[in-house]
Structure 1
Amino acid sequence: MEILASRMLVRPADYARSVAFYRDALGLAIAREYSGGTVFYAGQTLLELAGHGTPEHPGAPFPVSLWLQVRDLYATQQDLHGRGVDIARAARREPWGLHEMHVSDPDGMTLIFVEVPEDHPLRRDSRC
């Protein structure tokens, strides 16, 4: 399987407090903001704080998901299913325009496989 990009996705208990911590206390630069989320540069990866949804595992010490971008989500779903991988949540288009599918690793961490459609803002150069 070809992974095009990845990031750590955190759904914090207090979104505003977490944004202030990563932005102001740690001084991480913002890669992009969207309605309900902030993505920070964190070295060779991205750290996304999502203010939408709820933590995947309420009460867990650190509710983290791994965000993995693929070229064709529906083909990836079919491939993983063929390999015997349980699909926790089938591929679908989300209200924010991305196509997402969820898989759980053996320890219960959520892997979010994502396809970015051609017309999505992530595909546009924000410098234009």
Structure 2
Amino acid sequence: MEILASRVLFRPSDYQRSLSFYRDDLGLALAREYGGGTVFYAGQSLIELAGHGAPPAGSPPFPGALWLQVRDLYATQAELQSRGVAIAREARREPWGLHEMHVDDPDGVTLIFVEVPDDHPLRRDTRG
């Protein structure tokens, strides 16, 4: 199988509320708009908010979280707070060495903002 592209697709319960959150509160760059939704850049991926087709009634919440790497987590936290975004869990260094902060979107999807420190194994060249 050859995968040519991918994106995360959300069907928010309130499209306008989620559009405002991702566009205005988080400040994500717009990739494109189309008649039925909006697509945002998210690093090497895309986040699409579908304005068509609501989530099925009684459907469980998003079964996971969205991991978003940033250059400076503490500056990102300050920026989001200045925009009035509620921080669900303040930025801190985790036992596994990453710095993480949690924000919940309007439908309860957890966005994990991550800073990878220079000395973390994710930054090492493992090719030997």
TM-score range, shorter chain: 0.5 to 0.7
User: What amino acid is aligned across from residue 111 of structure 2 in structure 1?
Assistant: L
Contact 2:93 2:100 (8 Å CA) reproduced: yes
Q: Please say if 1:80 is aligned against 2:83.
A: no
Residue 36 of structure 2: aligned partner: none
Normalized against structure 2, the TM-score is what?
A: 0.53
Tell me the alpha carbon deviations over residues 65-118 of structure 1, each in whole angstroms, 9 at most, x when there is no partner.
000000000000000000000000000000100000000001000000000000
Unmatched 5+ stretches in structure 2: 1-6, 9-43, 46-59
Q: Of the two, which has the highest radius of gyration?
A: 2
Q: How many residues align?
A: 74
**SS in structure 1 at match of 2:125:** coil
Counterpart-to-counterpart distance in 2, 1:65 and 1:99: 16
Q: Please say if 1:119 is aligned against 2:112.
A: no
Residue 70 of structure 1: aligned partner: 70
TM superposition shift of 1:64? 1.4
- 1:21-40 correspondence runs (5 A): none
TM superposition shift of 1:62? 4.8
Contact 2:89 2:103 (8 Å CA) reproduced: yes
Cα-Cα RMSD: 2.2
TM superposition shift of 1:122? 0.3
**SS in structure 2 at match of 1:74:** helix
User: What amino acid is aligned across from residue 77 of structure 2 in structure 1?
Assistant: Q
Unmatched 5+ stretches in structure 1: 1-6, 9-43, 46-59
Residue 95 of structure 2: aligned partner: 95
User: What amino acid is aligned across from residue 68 of structure 1 in structure 2?
Assistant: L
Counterpart-to-counterpart distance in 1, 2:97 and 2:72: 15
Contact 2:61 2:108 (8 Å CA) reproduced: no
After the TM superposition, list the runs of 4 or more consecutive aligned residues in structure 1 that deviate by more than 4 angstroms: none
Tell me the alpha carbon deviations over residues 5-57 of structure 1, each in whole angstroms, 9 at most, x when there is no partner.
xx98xxxxxxxxxxxxxxxxxxxxxxxxxxxxxxxxxxx76xxxxxxxxxxxx
Identity of aligned residues (%): 78
